[in-house]
A and B are shown apart, each in its own frame.
Chain A
Amino acid sequence: MKITAGTEQHRAFCIGGIAYTYASASRSVRELAAHGSLETEAAVLEGFGFDRVNVAVEESPYALAFDAASRLLEEQRIEPTSIGLLVCGGTPSAMAFHAATDADAGAASLCTADRFRYPATRLQHELGLEHAAVLALDQLACTTLFGAVRVARAMMESEAIDRALCVASEFYPAHAGREALYNCTSDAACAVLVERTDDPAARNRIVGASTITKGYYWDAAAMREEVVASYFPTAVHAIARALESAGWRAEDVDWVIPHNVSARSWDVLLRLARLPNAKLWSCNIARRWHALAGDNFINLRDAIDAGDLRAGQRALLFSHGYGAHWTALAVEV
């Protein structure tokens, strides 16, 4: 994806590039059901728009993160030393260096000095990000990458950093289930370059954002009904706030770039959000499923690469971090 950067009267924040890596193996809904990885019947999930999912077998979360981040730097021809900030998130650090088939060893490492082996610092070192401040985010579920971008913007503003790299990588251990509330997950990593620039012709400018966190829903598994019930009205609220912060009207939105949860739930949410001209870029729901690591950003790149999302159009990204987090981002392409 071609990246430019710019501002209006002030310096603006732009998405300077996106790269991603999915785990190489894949499974169909029915294969997962046969493997006992789903809670819901395969036919129901197929009815919700799911088809295949990418599954890490030999890859570790770190390997996926490294691949996505290095690919991004290479594609955008970014000098690693120009990165002033690295924000990492996703799979808990203790698990980050272990393959899906060896995930228990990762958990056990919490009890040893291995707990101080962190993927963010390793990424800084192995990518050559010599000037990057490093921090990591946790506990934001599917909104991790949004959180990383949010933190990056704030730090770039306060510390005069021009370029930040945000990386999220998520996987499920081989023996774990793959479903969260009627949605199935792919193992993947996604890297997003955030830039601060004066260029008035900037592309992919972040012009509005909103985040809502409701700690009441922290125990999502025990509050399944409440989480389902709160999802829609809070999502409508988060979307409305993002539009307001961007100065957009509902009819200004050209595309909604989703997180790849059930197509049925998007049908409902789009009706509730009342975005009369918005189209849902849903191509990846069936073929990719839901990547906790940041499928909104993966979809944003794919939509631009596919020529669906064109310069000057307005895209709204929305995601829900299972349980307690709702977030939306307004991007002028």
Chain B
Amino acid sequence: MCTHSYADHGDGVVLVTGATGLLGADVVRRWATGGAARRLAVLVRDRARWQLAAHRLGIAHGAVIAVDGDVTAEGLGLSRDVRRWLARDTTAVVHLAADTTFSRPLDEARRVNRDGTAHLLALAAEWPRVARVAFVSTAFVAGRRTGFVPESPDGAATDAIGWVNAYERSKAEAESLVRAVRNDWVILRSSTVACDDPSGVVTQRNAVHQALRLFHDGLAALIPGVAGSVLDAVPTDYVSDAIARLALRGGIDGATVHLCAGAGAMPLTELLAECRACWMRDPAWRRRGIELPSLADLDTWELFVQAVEETGHPRLRRVTRALTHFLPQLALPKRFDTQRADALLGVPSPRVSDYWGRMIDHLQRTGWRGVSALAEEAA
């Protein structure tokens, strides 16, 4: 942990969106329990949900002020009094609220990710003391870009390059909005969150775990991938620590930072081999003789998906669609630059290979709790 102190923009009220999410909650916890005297306000749609999260995170009653609102509403849906208070006292806005569901249609993804950001920016423009807007984005705004991805606006894909899903695209559009209207922004692009920390424990399951379960259950025939494909992933604690340390830091206006494994990403073939090695320790799994999915380039993957779609079989389609919304990224090999992040944080993200096996073991040991068996659901 870097212990340098920096001038920051958190001397007034820091408004945080997305505080009930995986990363947002951990960032708020760090600030609320870290010793620094911060005035934290969190925008919440569901006050009860926030109170549960705060209790779970050990945040003392009154340490954080919850304000009712919703990023999808004009003016965030704030009451007049709250709006007046925030206008007067807010010095920084940290925007983590997002719809991270990869399968959302574009208009729905935009409603939260792009338009929600626009609503927040419009308010912040009216608040005179705001000197920092920190936007938590995704490294996969890179979309279908391949190769080296710089920590800059150029790292994002364009319409011509395209994106794998509407989530990526809507976040790229939100980044553009942030850059267009302010000079005091910091954009923190997170990679895919794989587990809580290098111990491999997984509290919140996501699409990666869903895909792994399909592999484990022998329901995935193919996985998009080519020679050089890697999985870039990060633990929650690395990302939330980085956000907590960088979002309010002075002197980095206009910085785009990759919170990614970068050079520590794991080659896909090694990753699958590690999964297999872990699962083979289970005699019941070993006896089934399940093959892990074959690596397929994008053309082959799309041919397969098209064939499954044509069959009309609902369970097959459900399985394939669950993978189609994000796995094609694996066949678009890229390496995220992390030089700026490493320099600012003083430490790189853990290498994926350092914890991948422990994470697989954890998922297996906990019986894939929280990760649905798609085929059973659709039966």
Interface residues of A (CB under 8 A from B): 40-41, 44, 47-48, 182, 214-216, 224-226, 228-234, 236-237, 262, 264-265, 267-268, 271-272
Checking A41, A216, A232 against B222 with a beta-carbon cut-off of 8 angstroms, the contacting residue is A232
Task: Determine if B21 is an interface residue (Cβ-Cβ < 8 Å).
Answer: no
B220:A229 contact, CB within 8 angstroms? yes
Are A230 and B312 CB-contacts (below 8 A) given A267-B303, A268-B303, A268-B307? no
The 4 closest A-B pairs by CB, nearest first: A233-B291, A271-B300, A214-B289, A216-B288
- Chain B minimum-CB-distance residue to A234: B291
Segment at the A interface, from B46-54, B135-143, B172-180, B313-321: B313-321
Give the CA-CA distance A271 to B224 in the complex, in Å: 12
Ordered by A's residue number, 21 sampled pairs between the chains whose C-beta atoms are within 8 Å are A44-B311, A47-B310, A182-B311, A216-B287, A216-B288, A224-B316, A225-B219, A225-B316, A226-B218, A229-B219, A232-B222, A232-B304, A236-B294, A264-B306, A264-B310, A268-B222, A268-B304, A271-B299, A271-B300, A272-B295, A272-B300
B221:A229 contact, CB within 8 angstroms? yes
List of B residues within 8 angstroms of A236 by Cβ: 294
Interface residues of B (CB under 8 A from A): 217-222, 287-297, 299-300, 303-304, 306-308, 310-313, 315-316, 319, 375
Secondary structure type dominating chain A contacts: helix
List of A residues within 8 angstroms of B312 by Cβ: 40-41, 44
A230:B311 contact, CB within 8 angstroms? no
Give the CA-CA distance A225 to B289 in the complex, in Å: 15
B281 → A minimal CB distance (Å) = 18
B293:A233 contact, CB within 8 angstroms? yes
Give the CA-CA distance A229 to B300 in the complex, in Å: 15
Give the CA-CA distance A216 to B287 in the complex, in Å: 8
Interface centre among A47, A215, A226 (most CB of B within 10 A): A226
A40:B218 contact, CB within 8 angstroms? no
Apart from A182-B311, A226-B218: 6 A-B pairs, beta carbons within 8 A: A41-B312, A224-B315, A228-B308, A264-B303, A264-B306, A272-B222
List of B residues within 8 angstroms of A233 by Cβ: 221-222, 291-294
List of A residues within 8 angstroms of B375 by Cβ: 225
A225:B296 contact, CB within 8 angstroms? no
- Chain A minimum-CB-distance residue to B215: A229
List of A residues within 8 angstroms of B217 by Cβ: 226
